[in-house]
């Protein structure tokens, strides 16, 4: 039996911003349950929930203080169970964000660990003495600015934190930590969860010798919040011990029916591809992995092709997960917007590109409405790196603003209270109740239906065509049936010559005359054919 996730479309829900039912301005689990019909109507196969567990919310739930309870902001365990039941009733799978590499400093484990050097949990986190001059034990950087070490006066030692100082890293070299973490995962699987999205999956282990990283060999990339690119990060993450833990986690998941794990690889370029290959190799590690390869500023046919082919070559028996937007990056309609004829046309192009890729597809809430990045002023920010480094860093709040359900309702119908982030006019204009007729939402529904109806798109092998920029072209093939997918990534029309019989398939707007196919700006075409065809630029 083919596993549900192999050709699935997974819809990411950012719970804070989906639907508020209490009027406190923050989305909640009952709100998700209320709106799941929307996800089912879209044609998605499952949902990924960003963190919903107990947390002081210093990093919006990515700082967990209790792995086995729901944060009161979002509801209760009973609300979670009701949400799972409704999702399954609608035919939707549910996976949650598991943030295992670190906890909140408010977690009971860390509170005990920091009290002394000899308590039962003294070695549950990564502690180290200062260097003789009092400086941190290594040169490792934190992603949110400054050293990855925080001095704790109570213990007289530094502790490791790859992110905020209030997010201390667990010590996965301690088998008791691994056992405790596996128990927390089992807790949710026992409640009917269908899998996990594993945050920062290559960050679990650190170098026990605490060796400093060497300088980056390639040209360093320097950003205001992130000096990682100036080092070759070989000692603070992606350690070889990680594989054994993934195998333990997979063994736990394999005790249940049809569970899926997708790992977020915090790396870029060829290095990310190599890690994804290692982590998805065989049948005893992750089911699939993704990186930030398609979540950056590059929007060229060559880049997109290299992402897919790089995975094919670097992880030949692995399984990819492709998405253009999520809760950590600018929405792609804005990020790549300079290449769009207009927002709606560009939304349709990028939708069909995703639907054409081999593997599992991820959609981020609001993408199906064509939402753009929200412009915020400093006083509206909640994201720690944005607050610290404004205006050089805009942060992640702009992609996290609430979903607009009703254009003319207060706060777009998201909340009757004061929302944690504002719903502004450009986003409200694209509210769900405005998505009628020839809308972006209805186009997404048609696109997902088209993908499901085509075995070649769902399960076929990928072969790229050698076409010049800005045309991306590839053929998906299965059992003698072929679907050639062509995309014009720029605003001006492009003309192609097709040699061989084909029929146009799926939603598209192209001009065909004899053997000549014209792609308008941001145009695309899907050509169904039984025999080989040749595509060349005219």
Supply the residues annotated as catalytic. Answer: 199, 267
- The DSSP output letter for 337 is G
Give the relative orientation of helices 440-453 and 29-42 as an angle to the nearest 10 degrees: 60
User: Whole-angstrom Cα distance, residue 393 to residue 391?
Assistant: 5
- The DSSP output letter for 528 is E
Distance from the first to the final alpha carbon of the chain? 44
User: Whole-angstrom Cα distance, residue 501 to residue 106?
Assistant: 65
Q: Where are the beta strands (DSSP E) in 172-280?
A: 195-198, 260-264
User: Whole-angstrom Cα distance, residue 64 to residue 75?
Assistant: 16
Please answer whether residues 38 and 75 qualify as being in contact, where contact means their C-beta atoms are separated by less than 8 angstroms: no
Backbone angles phi, psi at 128, to 5 degrees: -155, 150
- Within 8 A by CB and 6+ apart from 285, the residues are 243, 246, 247, 250, 278, 279
Query: Of 101, 265, 99, 247, whose CA–CA distance to 171 is shortest?
Result: 101
Residue located via tokens 């909340």: 415
Residue located via tokens 């002394």: 116
What dihedral angle (degrees, nearest 10) is formed by the CA atoms of 49, 53, 58, 63? -90
- Report helix, strand or coil for 70: strand
Q: Where are the beta strands (DSSP E) in 239-353?
A: 260-264, 288-290, 321-322
């Amino acid at each position: 039996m083919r596993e549900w996730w192999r050709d699935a479309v997974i819809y990411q829900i950012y719970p804070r911003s989906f639907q508020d039912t209490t009027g406190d301005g923050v989305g909640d689990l009952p709100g998700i349950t209320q709106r799941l019909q929307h996800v089912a109507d879209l044609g998605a196969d499952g949902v990924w929930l960003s963190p919903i567990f107990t947390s002081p919310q210093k990093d919006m739930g990515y700082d967990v203080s209790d792995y086995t309870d729901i944060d009161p902001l979002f509801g209760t365990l009973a609300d979670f169970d009701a949400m799972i039941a409704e999702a399954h009733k609608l035919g939707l799978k549910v996976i949650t964000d598991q943030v295992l590499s670190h906890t909140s400093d408010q977690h009971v484990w860390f509170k005990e660990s920091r009290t002394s050097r000899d308590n039962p949990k003294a070695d549950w986190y990564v502690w180290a003495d200062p260097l003789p001059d009092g400086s941190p034990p290594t040169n490792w950087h934190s992603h949110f600015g400054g050293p990855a070490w925080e001095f704790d006066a109570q213990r007289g030692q530094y502790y490791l934190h790859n992110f905020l100082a209030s997010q201390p890293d667990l010590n996965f070299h301690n088998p008791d930590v691994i056992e405790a973490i596996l128990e927390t995962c089992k807790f949710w699987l026992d409640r009917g969860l269908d899998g996990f999205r594993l945050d920062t999956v290559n960050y679990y282990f650190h170098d026990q010798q605490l060796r400093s990283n060497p300088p980056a060999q390639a040209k360093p990339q320097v950003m205001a919040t992130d000096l990682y690119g100036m080092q070759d990060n070989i000692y603070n993450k992606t350690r070889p011990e990680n594989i054994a833990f993934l195998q333990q986690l997979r063994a736990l998941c394999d005790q249940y029916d049809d569970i899926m794990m997708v790992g977020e690889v915090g790396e870029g370029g060829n290095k990310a591809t190599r890690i994804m290959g290692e982590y998805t190799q065989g049948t005893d590690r992750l089911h699939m992995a993704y990186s930030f390869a398609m979540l950056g500023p590059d929007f060229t046919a060559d880049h997109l092709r290299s992402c897919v082919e790089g995975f094919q070559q670097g992880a030949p028996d692995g399984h990819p997960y492709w998405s253009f937007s999520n809760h950590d990056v600018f929405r792609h309609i804005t990020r790549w917007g300079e290449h769009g004829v207009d927002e709606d046309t560009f939304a349709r192009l990028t939708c069909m590109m995703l639907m054409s890729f081999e593997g599992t597809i991820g959609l981020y809430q609001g993408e199906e409405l064509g939402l753009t990045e929200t412009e915020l002023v400093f006083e509206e920010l909640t994201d720690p790196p944005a607050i610290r480094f404004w205006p050089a860093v805009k942060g992640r709040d702009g992609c996290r603003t609430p979903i607009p359900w009703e254009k003319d309702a207060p706060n777009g119908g998201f909340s009757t209270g004061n929302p944690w982030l504002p719903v502004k006019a450009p986003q409200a204009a694209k509210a769900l109740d405005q998505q009628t007729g020839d809308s972006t939402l209805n186009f997404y529904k048609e696109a997902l239906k088209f993908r499901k109806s085509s075995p070649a798109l769902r399960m076929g092998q990928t072969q790229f065509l050698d076409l010049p920029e800005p045309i991306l072209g590839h053929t998906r093939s299965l059992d003698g049936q072929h679907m050639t997918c062509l995309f014009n990534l720029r605003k001006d029309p492009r003309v192609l010559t097709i040699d061989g019989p084909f029929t146009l398939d799926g939603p598209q707007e192209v001009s065909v005359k004899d053997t000549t196919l014209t792609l308008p700006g941001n145009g695309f075409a899907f050509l169904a054919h039984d025999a080989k065809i040749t595509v060349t630029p005219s």
